[in-house]
Structure 1
Amino acid sequence: MHLLALVFGIVLLPAAYPLKCFRCIPASSGTCEDTEKECPSSSYQCGALRITSYAGGSKLADVHMKTCFLADQCVEGSVNLGISRTVLTSKCCASELCNTQHAPEPNQTSPNGKRCYHCNGLKCTATLNCRGSEDHCISKTVSSGGKKAIMKGCASRDMCTNSQNPQIRGAIGGEVTCCQGDFCNSASSTSAGLLLLVAPLASLIALS
């Protein structure tokens, strides 16, 4: 009798259907309107992502997006290059059309005691105090007009270890090597870090 009840219980369990989420991918104007989207599978949840960039004390950009996310795409962290700092915040949920709100404003952070090199002009020997969750040093190579430039700074662990995350690739840009330890991103360092093959922010739109 108990076995029969168990079999009926399993048969009558609701199937795991994909969620419907709000989708809002900003156009070139930086604005968008919410539409409904069915996620590709039941592995996805609804989410909102915010990418905020600062230079000094001024906010340069504040981009919001909503769509379906895998669990490992709901990330938070920052990349600090001294002259600029980019912060990712996210808010994910697991019920139908639950991503009504934007991701939160980044918290104010203080120096955490870790230090990395950053570039001032062509010299990359200036000292940068890492902030908040930034526990790695980075070196980033960017190409422009056929020339390559190197930038150095601090980054959060998630920005380094989650190399397949399209949100991180779009936010960072360039080729990035990460390492742990104060000043490990010096020009003379030959230790192998994690190489992120990054793509422009447009990859976020194409993948969503």
Structure 2
Amino acid sequence: FFTLVLGLWLLPKADALQCYECLPNKHGSCTETTSECPSQDYQCAAARATTFIGDSKIFDITFKSCVQAKDCFKGSFNYGISKIRINTSCCTGNLCNTKPAPYSGLVSNGRQCFTCKGPDCTGSLNCEGSEDHCIKATWTVEGETTILKGCTSKQFCSGDAIAQAAHMTGADVSCCQGNFCNSASGPSGGLLLLMVPLISFILFS
């Protein structure tokens, strides 16, 4: 028994990965460095967050870091007039996250949710890619209530994700499954008020 314990103790211990790290500042730029991940549970990652207003791309932010396996995913928010797409590529070798995450286009998946166009929140929206939930975000600024509706991926509908989104944006966020399940009515508007803190929540949560 003593020999077995001694042998296990003398086995070489696996080291945490070394990964490239590049965390964008408020202007979207960063300086690439290397860092050691906190533990063996982490992988190297390259991620991209792309934001659209209508057909115009307004943000295309890339970053690299150590992440846990649960944070390696592709997903999106889609409010019709605005979209945020997230693409994360992960790998398990030292300094393997050399290339930036690719940009990926999305196609309709057959699901539909309500969306808001001006004060009318009864418009229909075709969901895309992995968007398998309908979403409704409500927040109040200076006494004025704003509602956004659309499609999103399940990764953004967990209890932790909703709690973090509420903390970062001040919005009351709810998700549901089923076509047009986000049917409650209300005024819309104020997209840019939500965009910047929402991107921060996605990148740095």
TM-score with structure 1 setting the length: 0.80
Q: Counterpart in 1 of 2:158?
A: 161
The AA in structure 2 aligned to 1:181 is: G
Contact 2:106 2:128 in 1 (8 A): yes
User: 1:161: Cα distance to partner?
Assistant: 2.8
Note the residue ranges of structure 1 that are not aligned, 5 or more in a row: 189-198
User: 2:85 aligned with 1:87, yes or no?
Assistant: yes
Please show how residues 147-158 of structure 1 align to structure 2 within 5 Å.
Answer: 147-158=144-155
User: 2:75 aligned with 1:77, yes or no?
Assistant: yes
The AA in structure 2 aligned to 1:184 is: C
Q: Which moved more, 1:90-99 or 1:6-15?
A: 6-15
* CA shift in 2, pair 1:99/1:10, >3 Å: same
Alignment partners' CA distance in 1, 2:133 and 2:161: 18
* CA shift in 2, pair 1:32/1:41, >3 Å: same
User: 1:183: Cα distance to partner?
Assistant: 0.5
1:106-148, Cα deviation, whole Å (9 max, x unpaired): 2x22221111100111221111111121111000123444533
The AA in structure 1 aligned to 2:115 is: H
Alignment partners' CA distance in 1, 2:93 and 2:36: 12
Contact 2:155 2:161 in 1 (8 A): no
Match of 2:180 among 173, 179, 183: 183
The AA in structure 1 aligned to 2:65 is: T
The residue matched to 2:102 in structure 1 has which SS? coil
Q: Counterpart in 2 of 1:140?
A: 137
The residue matched to 1:72 in structure 2 has which SS? helix
Alignment partners' CA distance in 1, 2:97 and 2:2: 40
Q: Which moved more, 1:50-59 or 1:69-78?
A: 50-59
Q: Which moved more, 1:75-84 or 1:10-19?
A: 10-19
TM-score with structure 2 setting the length: 0.81
Contact 1:169 1:201 in 2 (8 A): no
User: 1:83: Cα distance to partner?
Assistant: 0.6
The AA in structure 2 aligned to 1:40 is: P
Contact 1:73 1:165 in 2 (8 A): no
Aligned length: 192
The AA in structure 1 aligned to 2:153 is: S
Q: Counterpart in 1 of 2:38?
A: 40
Q: Counterpart in 2 of 1:126?
A: 123
Q: Counterpart in 2 of 1:196?
A: none
1:67-110, Cα deviation, whole Å (9 max, x unpaired): 1101101121111001111100001111111111111112x222
The residue matched to 1:158 in structure 2 has which SS? helix
* CA shift in 2, pair 1:59/1:175, >3 Å: same
The AA in structure 2 aligned to 1:48 is: A
User: 1:156: Cα distance to partner?
Assistant: 1.3
User: 1:200: Cα distance to partner?
Assistant: 5.2
User: Alpha carbon RMSD of aligned pairs, Å?
Assistant: 2.8
More helix by share: 2
Q: Counterpart in 2 of 1:105?
A: 103
Contact 2:46 2:101 in 1 (8 A): yes
